[in-house]
Structure 1
């Protein structure tokens, strides 16, 4: 089933390869799995393993950020996930416990049998992460909004490389902590869904 976008904030795809279209809220990172007469919701936090959560449990301000996109171009949605520590004032904290890609198909807890590293140049806090196929070439590009210190946030770009995603050191934008751009509703890069009614989150009563 092809990945499609009924609007600029939503994706529909068969995330878990069960033959049913699921729905992804691109702004919140929530996945609404359909099937078995009920709806199951997966959140990006679910993608962290027990030991990964444990490694961050003694640090304050650990936050999970994630984005869904087909980074390797195989037709399945993948999940890029970060688990990093918020800044202490204007001072960036360098505690990034998780920076990895879960390649689809994904389980309903958003785990995967195949993962890859997101190669980063800095381990500072990740405010937000997005996946866009703005040039419509198939594989999605990763956009990472990461702390530069002193209240500055840089936008960095990454693409599939070396069995994971490599993020460039080149800054594609510089912003304050509260003024980096909102998600462009036309930039997800996937075609419109042919029949929006057939793949919505509505389900039959259990």
Structure 2
């Protein structure tokens, strides 16, 4: 079981505010609206582009998940080829603030899965505008192979998102594992794993994020 430590995050953006949680809603199957930095203004999270648009009055600031890695995390992956960042936004601990699950892993070469995962952590909201957090938990996952995609979906509508991890199984296969908040982090289970080919693993459904539609709020 991977259980790496927490790495230093050099935050550069304004720190989060202290506004109480605002309702999270889904624009569609790929986008959410939520007050990510607790400043009292709704921001837009684009899961497809892995980015957040922070909105304040007429000012828009776009921050990509790929830019959210800390200094030491970037340094550790600098000597490796084909490293890629994946992220998923969801309220994993049920406190009303949006959290970020982030992976930084090496893409497969040939049929053998890679074995280099530099980052596997959840940053609990509220988040700063560079997507850093003072409260970080480990994502406990049983393999360090490449993560094709991560999705946060509140499937049972209990206010706590589950984390779906689509991870390389080697030989052209992709395995879907499900993680849940547990002991200050997220534990990803190997039980009930679904396996797919690289070209046929499931795409998001329009209502898959599990939050109510923004139009209905």
Q: TM-score, normalised by structure 1?
A: 0.92
Equivalence for 2:95: 74
Equivalence for 1:35: 56
Shift of 1:36: 5.1
Give me the CA root mean square deviation.
1.3
Shift of 1:30: 1.1
Aligned counterparts of 1:38 and 1:195: Cα–Cα separation in 2: 26
Q: Is the 8 A contact 1:154 1:171 kept in 2?
A: no
Note the residue ranges of structure 2 that are not aligned, 5 or more in a row. 1-21
Q: Secondary structure at the match of 1:173?
A: strand
Of residues 66, 85, 93 in structure 1, which corresponds to 2:106?
Answer: 85
Tell me if 1:96 matches 2:117.
yes
Equivalence for 1:106: 127
Aligned counterparts of 1:171 and 1:25: Cα–Cα separation in 2: 28
Tell me if 1:14 matches 2:35.
yes
Shift of 1:195: 6.9
Q: TM-score, normalised by structure 2?
A: 0.87
Note the residue ranges of structure 1 that are not aligned, 5 or more in a row. 197-206
Number of matched residues? 196
1:1-206 mapped onto 2 (5 Å cutoff)? 1-35=22-56, 37-194=58-215
Q: Secondary structure at the match of 1:155?
A: strand
